[in-house]
Amino acid sequence: MNPPLRTEKDNETLWNALLNETIDIVASDHAPHTLEEKQEFDNALPGVPGVETTLPIMMYFMKNEKISLRRLVNAICEKPAEIFNLNKGEIKKGFDADLNVFDLKNEKKISADMLHSKCGWTPFENFHAIFPICTIIRGEVVVENNEIMVNPGFGRFVGEKYA
């Protein structure tokens, strides 16, 4: 697999860097390559499917006190918006109304069949996660109870400065 999975010590170092703010943001690559495309290391395309699982996994860690809600919001919402100069990341007049609503009792184990990615697998199979019960983008409900509520093409390009 490319990138190769890392050691427990590597993970601990990353967590410490996130918590002490050496790492500014938590972000996800989303490279929905099939398992067949990932098998031979020398030819494996880099990246994993992750856009749909990053925040739910981090919410599980927050619920279990690995990271504070304040630090999580800063690392996933506020700081990326600040770095990329986007009108996002805060609930504020003039900003896009992008929100996730969570029920912290709604914990699930991740399985590929519950996700919407075209690749049909996830490296996070059986990880604990808390998925949003509702996702709102630009003030419109786009996902509710894991059901997509908008048509393809609803998404919007947010800027080319850093693309």
Helix (H, G, I), strand (E, B) or coil at 142: strand
Give phi and psi for 61, each to the nearest 5: -65, -40
What global pTM score does this model have?
Answer: 0.89
Give the tens place of pLDDT for each residue, 57-105: 999 999 999 999 999 999 999 999 999 999 999 999 999 989 999 999 9
For 105, the 3-state DSSP assignment is coil
- Check 29, 42, 96, 103 and give the catalytic one: 29
Coil, strand or helix: which one is 73?
Answer: helix
For residue 163, the model assigns a pLDDT of: 46
User: What are the Cα distances from residue 94, in Å, to 51, 73, 90?
Assistant: 26, 19, 10
Confidence of residue 125 (pLDDT cuts 50, 70, 90): very high
CA atoms within 13 A on the CB side of 99: 11
Question: What is the mean predicted confidence (pLDDT) over 117-132?
Answer: 94
Say if residues 56 and 64 touch (Cβ distance below 8 Å). no
30, 56, 70, 127 from 124: Cα distances, Å = 13, 11, 24, 5
- Is 98 known to be catalytic? no
Measured CA to CA in angstroms, residue 129 lies from 6, 56, 95, 122, 132 at distances of 20, 5, 28, 13, 10
Rounded to 5 degrees, what are φ and ψ at 56? Answer: -60, -40
Domain boundaries, the chain: 8-88+108-130
